[in-house]
């Protein structure tokens, strides 16, 4: 943990991290970069002096490129597979993410975090899990899914419904192929628009829900994707009888400080950087600005 605001006294490599260090990035080295699609790259990063990130799935870091700016990015690797490094899947959209895409192994970026409330992993044990990531929403959910896979025996059914706009925009294709081979995972993938390479389902993510039947009382659902997706996915999940408190969403907001100081991420009276980005639906259904 390099600067977990909830636990500022945690020691690492003999160091006590003080609260002020919430604002001081630690220099991380880019170990590897891997293009995933035309717009997304996967970055493997290593912290200095044997530090580890010690994150929970669903948390994010603030990545700074000196002279350019800072951006919140979800941690895409699972804590159970950290090997001392961590992965970020980054879509190139603007200044910071474009500068990051131009960087190469050996270059250094600033990292603050991990920040935010992640998924309540312990509460999920013994439950059937239904994951519904859309597009880049697979990046944070991959962290959770791989942790679940690494402790597979302690969960019930694991169902993944993943939607992307087109076959070329599917993320983590090699991992999807591995998940598809497993007997203990039910994976359904769809694309909004097919092409000559695609023989799978065509249609938006909600078209996958009719392929599955679940036991709603024992099911926890986790969804993450573009804001437009949530309303429709929620209708499907609620329609299947899953309770409000057993549906978890990760909400993206414009963030700056990441630690509840600047107010940029505010949803009504709630700071998404601290109370989120992961929320049970029961907590946000009354917030007008949430969805
Ligand atoms: C908790 C959290 C987790 C995130 N995880 C990831 C991730 O895993 N991978 C990833 O690629 N991106 C992620 N994002 C989005 C990422 O932070 C933004 O794309 C990034 O800040 C853009 O910075 P930029 O300087 O490249 O773009 P800018 O030059 O600042 O902006 C480019 C465009 O993107 C828009 N934009 C900027 N920030 C955001 C934002 N936070 N949400 C929506 N639109 C924005 C701007 O309005 C503008 O239209 C996450 C955001 C949050 C809040
Ligand atoms: S990002 Fe500053 S308060 Fe949330």
Residue 230 confidence (pLDDT): 93
Helix (H, G, I), strand (E, B) or coil at 209: helix
Type and span of the H or E element at 99: helix 95-101
Residue 21 confidence (pLDDT): 60
Residues β-bridged to residue 79: none
Cα–Cα distance measured from residue 139 to residue 37, given in angstroms and rounded to the nearest whole number = 13
For residue 23 and ligand 2, the question of a CB distance below 6 A is answered with no
CB 80 within 8 A of CB 151: yes
pLDDT digit string (tens) for the chain, length 291 residues: 454 333 433 434 434 333 446 788 999 999 999 999 999 999 999 999 888 888 999 999 999 999 999 999 999 999 999 878 999 999 999 999 999 999 999 999 999 999 999 999 999 999 999 999 999 999 999 999 999 999 999 999 999 999 999 999 999 999 999 999 999 999 999 999 999 999 999 999 999 999 999 999 999 999 999 989 999 999 999 999 999 999 999 988 888 888 888 899 888 889 989 998 999 999 988 887 778
For residue 258 and ligand 2, the question of a CB distance below 6 A is answered with yes
Which of 61, 74, 87, 93 to mutate for ligand 1's pocket (most ligand atoms within 8 Å of CB)?
93
Cα–Cα distance measured from residue 94 to residue 165, given in angstroms and rounded to the nearest whole number = 20
CB 74 within 8 A of CB 62: no
Reported pTM: 0.91
* Beta carbons within 10 angstroms of residue 283's beta carbon: 17
Residues β-bridged to residue 63: 71, 111
CB 254 within 8 A of CB 265: yes
């Amino acid at each position: 943990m390099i600067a977990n605001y909830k636990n500022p006294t945690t020691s690492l490599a003999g160091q006590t991290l003080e609260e002020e260090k919430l604002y001081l990035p630690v220099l991380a080295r880019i170990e590897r970069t891997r293009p995933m699609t035309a717009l997304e790259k996967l970055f493997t990063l290593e912290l200095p002096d044997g530090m580890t990130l010690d994150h929970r799935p669903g948390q994010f870091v603030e990545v700074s490129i000196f002279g350019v700016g800072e951006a919140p990015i979800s941690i895409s690797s699972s804590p159970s597979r950290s090997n001392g490094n961590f992965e970020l899947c980054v879509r190139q959209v603007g200044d910071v993410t474009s500068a990051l895409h131009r960087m190469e192994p050996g270059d250094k970026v600033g990292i603050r975090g991990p920040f935010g409330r992640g998924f309540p992993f312990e509460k999920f044990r013994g439950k059937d899990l239904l994951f519904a990531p859309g597009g880049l929403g697979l990046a944070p959910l991959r962290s959770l899914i791989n942790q679940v896979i690494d402790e597979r025996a302690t969960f019930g059914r694991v169902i993944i419904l993943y939607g992307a706009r087109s076959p070329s925009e599917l993320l983590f294709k090699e991992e999807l192929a591995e998940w598809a081979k497993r007997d203990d995972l039910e994976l359904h993938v769809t694309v909004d628009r097919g092409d000559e390479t695609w023989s799978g389902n065509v249609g938006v993510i909600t078209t996958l829900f009719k392929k599955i039947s679940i036991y709603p009382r024992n099911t926890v659902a986790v969804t993450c994707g573009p804001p437009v997706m949530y309303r429709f996915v929620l209708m499907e999940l609620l329609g299947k009888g899953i309770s409000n408190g057993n549906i978890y969403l990760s909400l993206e907001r414009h963030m700056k400080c990441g630690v509840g100081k600047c107010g940029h991420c505010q949803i009504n009276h709630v700071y998404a950087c601290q109370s989120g980005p992961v929320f049970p639906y029961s907590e946000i259904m009354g917030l007008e600005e949430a969805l």
